Copies of this chain bind each other. A is one copy, B any other.
């Protein structure tokens, strides 16, 4: 298997957008191809992450729709769905296509158009990512499931609401530095703690956003990457794992086995340790999810993830910035786009082009994308090759 590099990235602004799901996807694809300096005809395959295009917009079969709107030729177009990890799965299939020599240049995108549905519809659609029989049908929506996880984490490890609120404050502060972020709003710890409850102990600011948006990347073989882009970023590892979808089937709900497995294998593949990572984009669908992810990936020991935001270690300027983009919390969470947008942020950082939110001297970055309450996880590690 040969090395794979990212030579193009494109992200639309996240938020309430007037474009259709196809237009959003095509816009991100256009930006990524422009960044790569390659015409659509050069793309040899297309992988799209999308969670619920049909439910949100009436349109299924989105991969050839968006490829056609982006000017691609009659190349293989596949949609990947793994709930909120759909983008990460599309990324991994793209990486494998190039690594295996099936294609030399591929386009990967993720998209979701969510804001045209009512909040009630959206909650129901999102709940379909959990176990319908034992969760969604009984009213156990995702805020409820992650509230259970938060409560158990508090019970087991003494994690506090203040630590979760600190994640929100940090990611909102980061989002202010990202012009594409949905939520451009600074919040204080007090505001986060006093926000109206969503599912106890989670308040409004503990929850990520319902957003429209798209992101795309162009991948090629590392051996030709330098000919195509002045700052190619190498994919050091691309891993994916699964776990039981229903929370009731997990032995320990304070730990996501899929994250632990994917991350462990990714570090093996990259021949790196967690301490080698300069920045990470992790799946903070809820503030507790960022804390759990930091532990499962290995950045913190189990039960100590709350320290990251509390002590400022995971803030820009800290020892290991997490979610410099603003994360799902402030950048927004257009479900299918999220995993690809994380990759775009890491690549931007490793190129040294992240502007006001640049992590100085960043050389190694990690992207962690989670689906459902931990049933699917994709982890990618990148290097600037510097």
Q: What is A's interface to B at a CB cutoff of 8 Å?
A: 1, 20, 22, 46, 51-52, 54-55, 57-61, 63-65, 67-68, 72, 74-83, 89, 92-93, 96-97, 99-102, 125, 128-133, 136-137, 240-245, 249, 257-258, 261, 371-372, 375-376
Distance to closest chain B CB from A341 (angstroms): 19
CB nearest neighbor in B for A372: B61
CB nearest neighbor in B for A68: B244
Name the contact of A136 in the complex, choosing from B55, B58, B244, B258 (C-beta under 8 A).
B58
**Across-interface contacts of A67 in B (CB, < 8 A):** 242
- Rank and list the top 3 A-B pairs by shortest CB-CB distance, nearest first: A100-B100, A76-B240, A60-B128
**Across-interface contacts of A57 in B (CB, < 8 A):** 132
**Across-interface contacts of A52 in B (CB, < 8 A):** 54, 60
Q: Which residue, of A1, A125, A242, A243, has the highest number of chain B Cβ atoms within 10 A?
A: A242
Q: Given A20-B133, A54-B55, A376-B77, does the pair A64, B128 have CB atoms closer than 8 Å?
A: no
Cα distance A261–B67 in the bound complex, in angstroms: 16
Distance to closest chain B CB from A123 (angstroms): 13
Q: Given A63-B376, A78-B89, A102-B100, does the pair A58, B241 have CB atoms closer than 8 Å?
A: no
**Copies of this protein in the complex:** 2
Q: Are A100 and B1 in contact (CB under 8 A)?
A: yes
CB nearest neighbor in B for A89: B78
Distance to closest chain B CB from A110 (angstroms): 14
**10 A/B residue pairs, CB under 8 Å, sorted by A:** A20-B133, A54-B55, A57-B132, A59-B128, A61-B82, A61-B245, A74-B258, A77-B242, A96-B102, A99-B100
Distance to closest chain B CB from A108 (angstroms): 14
CB nearest neighbor in B for A258: B74
Cα distance A116–B96 in the bound complex, in angstroms: 37
Name the contact of A60 in the complex, choosing from B58, B102, B129, B257 (C-beta under 8 A).
B129
Q: Are B68 and A376 in contact (CB under 8 A)?
A: no
**Across-interface contacts of A136 in B (CB, < 8 A):** 58-59
**Across-interface contacts of A128 in B (CB, < 8 A):** 54, 58-61
Name the contact of A257 in the complex, choosing from B63, B72, B74, B241 (C-beta under 8 A).
B74
Cα distance A327–B102 in the bound complex, in angstroms: 31
Q: Are B89 and A96 in contact (CB under 8 A)?
A: no
Distance to closest chain B CB from A258 (angstroms): 6
**Across-interface contacts of A65 in B (CB, < 8 A):** 131, 245, 375
